[in-house]
Amino acid sequence: MSNLNPVRLIATKRDGKALALDDLRAFIDAYTGGAVPDYQMSAFLMAAYLNGLSDAEAAALTDAMLQSGTHIDLSSVSGIKVGKHSTGGVGDKVSPILVPLVASCGVPVAKLSGRGLGHTGGTLDKLESIPGFRTSLSVDEYRRQIDDIGCVIAGQTGDVAPADKKLYALRDVTATVDSIPLIAASIMSKKLAEGNDALVLDVKCGRGAFMKTEADARALAETMAAIGAEHDVPVTAVMTNMDVPLGRAVGNWPEIVEVIECLRGEHDDTPLMRIVRALAGEMVALGEKAESAEEGEERVQQVLDSGAALDRFFQFVEAQGGDRGLIDTPSARDGSEPVAVVRAPDDAQGYVADLDALAIGHAAVDLGAGRRAKEDDVDPVAGLSDLKKPGDPVAPGDVLARLHTRTPSAVEDVRAAIRDAYSFSDEPPEPVAPVRARYDTSGWSDV
């Protein structure tokens, strides 16, 4: 640590002044190596939480976390590799659809994903609900798969951004999680480690997302794009709606079933698939397989219609050890059938007016589909399916949701909460655009 004075650095940020970037990097290095104690890092995190970080400081923090571990090198893989990250939401099954879809357009996609915590599900948990599917891959396996079939989704190893892991654990117990520059640095340190050449961000906004307001979603997108620019990685952000669950299934295996249906073309004109096509179009354009995002969407639709995207999903599942037979016949999954339904109350007449994504996310956790603490196990088949959504016609006694769980005692506890998540009206509600805006180096634009 030599000339670094942690107390002086903490005081500088406490007083709202700019940090010397080399000092910030050295401070993170020293903390990762054990030379800076938790109490000093806690003081720094609170100072950063209260006074913010500049774009340059956030980029330096990201760089220090990135350099603390393995940076996967995919330079041997031909083509422009394009990554994707979502800030998380209820029913967000975009990645298992998007990754093989974009790969089938000729753009390699390497992705490190996480597990669910709280009301939002995790991509790894969803994929691991496919019996046999492996998400713990070595760097060599990761690189070989992206070379062989053009796509991979794996868990973050302990070698990737270990500084971020230490910092996040500390943020979680010091009330400093909800800081946009700290969130951005945490996300981007892992995204830059994936080995991709460009990145598309799905920044979710609404009551079911971590970013509840459009202002916060915009600030997070801009901060992450600025960090990408500092590291010469082009970033495009798409702001998407997360007031209601995305799709008609929430849980792990229930969402994988919906993924398969989407790739078969069964949910083409839905908010879920409109978001998928928007993100995929951006990725295909960044991968230089289309002149624009609009042309990219046309290419995406072609591979969906031809069945090439579904074929690539089959290859992806088989490459990571998943049971191909259950992808062909999802209803054969042991224990996957619904155990109960929630019906519309007697005063439900007309249309579904609204559905609270946050309440549905909590109901899925109560059924066993999610975690309240990191060490909790999940029930791979638990969740909800066939959700009625805003705009759907409804009458008393109609099925609002089908419930899946291996813990039947949980059913009665969630029934009332699910009913309360719905509201009804005589007239259909105004449709809400699933894609709100996009951001790149030219600034924000409506979609």
Contacts with 426 (C-beta within 8 Å, 6 or more apart), sequence order: 349, 350, 351
Separation CA 256–CA 290 (nearest Å): 29
The encoded tokens of residue 359 equal: 């309440």
**DSSP 3-state helix, strand, coil percentages of the chain (rounded to 5)?**
45, 15, 40
- Is residue 332's pLDDT more than 90? yes
Q: pLDDT for 249-283, tens place per residue?
A: 999 999 999 999 999 999 988 999 999 999 999 99
Residue-by-residue DSSP string for 25-64: HHHHHHHHTTSS-HHHHHHHHHHHHHH---HHHHHHHHHH
Both tokens assigned to 47: 């100072």
Q: Where are the beta strands (DSSP E) in 211-348?
A: 235-241, 250-251, 340-343
Query: Per-residue pLDDT tens for 394-425?
Result: 999 999 999 999 988 889 889 999 999 999 99
Closest CA relative to residue 72, chosen from 148, 147, 159: 159
What top-level class would CATH report for the domain 6-52?
mainly alpha
Task: Return the amino acid letter for 218.
Answer: R
* pLDDT of 125 above 80: yes
Residue ranges of the domains in the chain?
6-52, 82-157+187-329+435-446, 335-425
pLDDT for the residue 375: 62
Q: Band of the pLDDT at 441, cuts 50, 70, 90?
A: confident
Q: How confident is the model at residue 1 (pLDDT cuts 50, 70, 90)?
A: very low
Mean pLDDT of 38-56: 96
Helix axes 271-286, 94-103, angle to 10 degrees: 40
Closest among 269, 276, 268, 191 to 240, alpha carbons compared: 276
Angle CA 210–354–352, to nearest 5? 150
49 phi/psi in degrees, rounded to 5: -65, -45
> For 148-170, what is the mean pLDDT?
89
Query: What confidence tier does 121 reach under pLDDT thresholds 50, 70, 90?
Result: low
Amino acid code (one letter) for 109: V
Confidence (pTM): 0.92
363's CB contacts (< 8 A; 6+ apart) are 250, 384, 414, 417, 418, 421
Q: How large is the greatest C-alpha to C-alpha distance in the chain, in angstroms?
A: 72
pLDDT at 372 (0 to 100): 66
Residues constituting the chain: 447
How far is 88 from 177, CA to CA, in rounded Å?
Answer: 15
pLDDT tops 80 at residue 392: yes
* Bridge partners, residue 199, by sequence: 83, 235
Q: Evaluate whether 6-52 and 335-425 have a shared fold.
A: no
Give me the active site residues, please.
85, 164, 171, 186, 190
Q: CATH topology for 335-425?
A: Aldehyde Oxidoreductase; domain 3 (3.90.1170)
Which of the residue ranges 22-26, 114-118, 271-275, 312-316 would you say has the lowest mean pLDDT?
Answer: 114-118
C-alpha angle with apex 299: 249 to 133, nearest 5 degrees?
45
Residue 119's pLDDT band (cuts 50, 70, 90): low
Among residues of the chain, what percentage have pLDDT more than 90? 80
The answer on pLDDT for 181 being more than 50 is yes
Contact 125, 114 (CB under 8 A): no
Q: Are 51 and 13 in contact (CB under 8 A)?
A: yes
Average pLDDT over residues 298-311: 97
Distance (Å, whole) CA 217 – CA 208 = 13
Fold type of domain 82-157+187-329+435-446: Pyrimidine Nucleoside Phosphorylase; Chain A, domain 2 (3.40.1030)
Which residue in 245, 251, 402 sits closest to 339, CA to CA?
A: 402
